[in-house]
């Protein structure tokens, strides 16, 4: 049984700082299904925290989107050799089901997107101090013991999808609430480019929880949907929303510091912070912005011509070594009357926005829902996938020279290649479709893969020591030993489940 929680009527949340005692922060009956449950006995021991990052300040762990954390010799054996577990979240669909729920009515393409956006996990997990955090479109957030996969806490502070990657900073975990819906009045405003996605569609905003117990500390409500994952630096949290506003709020108190009315609509572009600047892209009024983290002023902005309406706002820019890399699915004019797309990858000088290089990937049909692949920078290379022609490519970060191309096998009805890869020990780990693939990072050659079932959305493999942590659209969280993916050569039979 979970530890007893304070009655919702008298939940006194008297904490340091401006958080005054508040009777009830958010709706929800105390013994009801959305109430927080907390199992203190499943917290990791201090020893089991060794080797893990202490914080998680960006979607995919950092501005490079590269989530591999090698561990030293003092790390526990289990972490070095790797553990295996699977946790069924609230709307879990059996991993034995190859088809998404609802495929008969919606067809595979739309059902895959619907399952990711409303039942499963759109982005990957976060890992900090021996705990794996996940937020799901099943409206719950979860903290699991990284070793055992046992539930530490589960909570649903808001009745909306949680599409991001939980941030962890100080004693707080941050969730963002928002879904893809527009209500009727905003459908009508769309033609005047004044629509706010999410306005009047349940409740949106940032929800801050105690990282150990999951208790709600405060929430920062926003008019527009906050589907993206924020980013944190210097005790400031930055987030873009469906009403085209980009906010900076105090990461401890939740008070607003500044807001930038950029216009357009935020989709899934997660901000990246680099050298005092915030990089994020919005769509409909399609720009990649570089803002001052101090005051929100626009340092530079750039667009990608022919990007589809949501193309630019879907992708999260990766920034490192003075270079910001972005991509956008774009329309290819007049191609036999059939809507044909490509993916334009572009690198900018992070300081002044000068274009360093542009690369156009292959042609393909319009992918449903999320359009684009989240770039990942490691060393002097950047790796980008795309669901247009289902490939990953590696480029030299500074020149844009194509290093290699890998074609994703069995990409599936909705296309594959949306999540960022993860670099570890000369290998590239990629989670897409129902599989985890391992490539030689230098040649792009497939050197291992493992069928895990379900489907990975815009998910990256998070590697801590010898374990890979993931979550998926079938609403499962899982741990997989690195050794079980890399050990054996891929055989053709291996590609089938």
The contact set with a second copy (CB under 8 A) reads: 8-9, 23-24, 26-29, 32-34, 88-94, 97, 101-102, 104-106, 110, 113-115, 117-119, 137-140, 154, 156, 159-160, 179-184, 187-188, 190-191, 195, 197, 199-203, 205, 221-223, 309-310, 369, 474-475
Q: Decide the pairing of beta strands 364-365 and 376-378.
A: unpaired
Q: Which residues contact 268 (CB under 8 A, 6 or more apart)?
A: 122, 163, 227, 228, 313, 314, 315, 316, 370, 458
Q: Decide the pairing of beta strands 68-69 and 462-464.
A: parallel
Contact 184, 236 (CB under 8 A): no
Reduce the DSSP state of residue 318 to 3 states and report it. Answer: strand
Minimum gap (Å) between residue 30 Cβ and a second copy: 8
Contact 9, 24 (CB under 8 A): yes
- Alpha-carbon dihedral 254, 255, 261, 265, rounded to 10 degrees: 20
Query: Which pairs count as long-range contacts for 399-402, CB under 8 Å and 24+ apart, including other chains?
Result: 399/357, 400/345, 400/347, 400/356, 400/357, 400/358, 400/359, 402/359
Q: Decide the pairing of beta strands 231-233 and 216-222.
A: unpaired
Minimum CB distance to a second copy smaller for 34 or for 85: 34
Q: How far is CA 163 from CA 229, 380, 396, 448, in A?
A: 8, 30, 31, 29
Minimum CB distance to a second copy smaller for 199 or for 278: 199
Minimum gap (Å) between residue 157 Cβ and a second copy: 11
Minimum gap (Å) between residue 230 Cβ and a second copy: 17
Tokens standing for 365?
Answer: 């049909």
DSSP 8-state assignment for residue 159:
S
Minimum gap (Å) between residue 112 Cβ and a second copy: 11
Minimum gap (Å) between residue 253 Cβ and a second copy: 15
Minimum gap (Å) between residue 68 Cβ and a second copy: 30
Minimum gap (Å) between residue 361 Cβ and a second copy: 22
Tokens standing for 238?
Answer: 């930055």
Contact 480, 459 (CB under 8 A): no
- Alpha-carbon dihedral 166, 168, 173, 179, rounded to 10 degrees: -20
Minimum CB distance to a second copy smaller for 308 or for 449: 308
Minimum CB distance to a second copy smaller for 157 or for 400: 157
Minimum CB distance to a second copy smaller for 34 or for 289: 34
Q: Which residues pair with 239 in a beta bridge?
A: 247
Minimum gap (Å) between residue 37 Cβ and a second copy: 8
How many residues make up the chain in this entry? 497
Minimum CB distance to a second copy smaller for 142 or for 383: 142
Query: How far apart, in whole angstroms, are the C-alpha atoms of residue 439 and residue 444?
Result: 5
Minimum CB distance to a second copy smaller for 200 or for 353: 200
Contact 393, 384 (CB under 8 A): yes
Minimum gap (Å) between residue 27 Cβ and a second copy: 4
DSSP 8-state assignment for residue 224:
S
Contact 343, 360 (CB under 8 A): yes
Minimum CB distance to a second copy smaller for 52 or for 220: 220
Query: How far apart, in whole angstroms, are the C-alpha atoms of residue 154 and residue 157?
Result: 10
Minimum CB distance to a second copy smaller for 453 or for 466: 453
Minimum gap (Å) between residue 114 Cβ and a second copy: 6
Minimum CB distance to a second copy smaller for 182 or for 429: 182
């Amino acid at each position: 049984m979970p530890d007893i929680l304070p009655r919702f009527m008298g939940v006194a949340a008297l904490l340091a700082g401006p958080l005054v005692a508040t009777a009830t922060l958010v709706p929800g009956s105390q013994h009801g299904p959305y109430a927080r449950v907390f199992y203190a006995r499943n917290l990791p021991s201090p020893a089991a925290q060794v080797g893990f990052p202490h914080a998680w300040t960006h979607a995919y762990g950092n501005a490079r989107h590269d989530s591999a954390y090698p561990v030293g010799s003092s790390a526990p054996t289990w972490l070095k050799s790797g553990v295996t577990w699977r946790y069924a979240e609230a709307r879990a669909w059996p991993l034995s089901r190859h088809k998404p729920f609802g495929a008969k009515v919606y067809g595979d393409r739309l059902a895959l997107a619907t399952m990711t956006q409303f039942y499963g996990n759109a982005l990957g997990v976060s890992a900090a101090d021996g705990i794996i955090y996940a937020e799901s479109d099943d409206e719950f957030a979860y903290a699991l013991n990284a070793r055992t996969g046992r539930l530490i806490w589960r909570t649903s502070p808001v009745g909306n999808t949680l599409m991001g990657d939980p941030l962890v900073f100080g004693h707080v975990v941050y969730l963002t609430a928002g879904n893809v819906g527009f209500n009727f009045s905003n459908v009508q405003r769309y033609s005047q480019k004044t629509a706010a996605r999410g306005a009047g569609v349940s409740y949106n905003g940032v929800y801050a929880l105690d990282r150990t117990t999951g208790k709600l500390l405060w929430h920062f409500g926003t008019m527009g949907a906050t589907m993206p994952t924020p980013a944190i630096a210097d005790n400031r949290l930055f987030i873009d929303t469906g009403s085209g506003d980009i906010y900076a709020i105090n990461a401890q108190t939740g008070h607003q510091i500044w807001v930038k009315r950029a216009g357009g609509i935020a989709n899934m572009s997660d901000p990246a912070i680099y050298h005092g600047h915030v990089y994020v892209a919005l769509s409909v009024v399609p720009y990649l912005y570089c803002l001052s983290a101090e005051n929100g002023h626009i340092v530079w902005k750039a667009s990608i011509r022919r990007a589809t309406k949501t193309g630019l706002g879907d992708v999260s820019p990766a920034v490192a070594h003075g270079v910001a890399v972005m991509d956008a699915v774009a329309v290819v004019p007049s191609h036999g009357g059939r809507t044909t797309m490509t993916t334009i990858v572009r690198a900018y000088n992070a300081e002044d926005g000068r274009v360093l290089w542009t690369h156009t990937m292959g042609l393909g049909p319009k992918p449903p829902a999320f359009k684009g692949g989240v770039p990942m920078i490691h060393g002097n290379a950047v790796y980008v996938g795309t669901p247009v022609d289902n490939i990953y490519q590696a480029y030299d970060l500074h020149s844009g020279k194509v290093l290699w191309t890998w074609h994703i096998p069995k990409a599936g009805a909705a296309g594959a290649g949306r999540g960022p890869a993860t670099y570890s020990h000369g290998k590239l780990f990629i989670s897409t479709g129902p599989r985890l693939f391992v490539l030689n990072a230098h040649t792009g050659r497939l050197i291992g893969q493992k069928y895990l079932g379900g489907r990975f959305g815009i998910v990256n493999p998070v590697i801590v020591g010898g374990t890979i942590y993931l979550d998926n659209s079938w609403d499962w969280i899982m741990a997989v030993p690195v050794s079980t993916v890399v050990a054996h050569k891929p055989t053709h039979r291996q590609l089938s489940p």
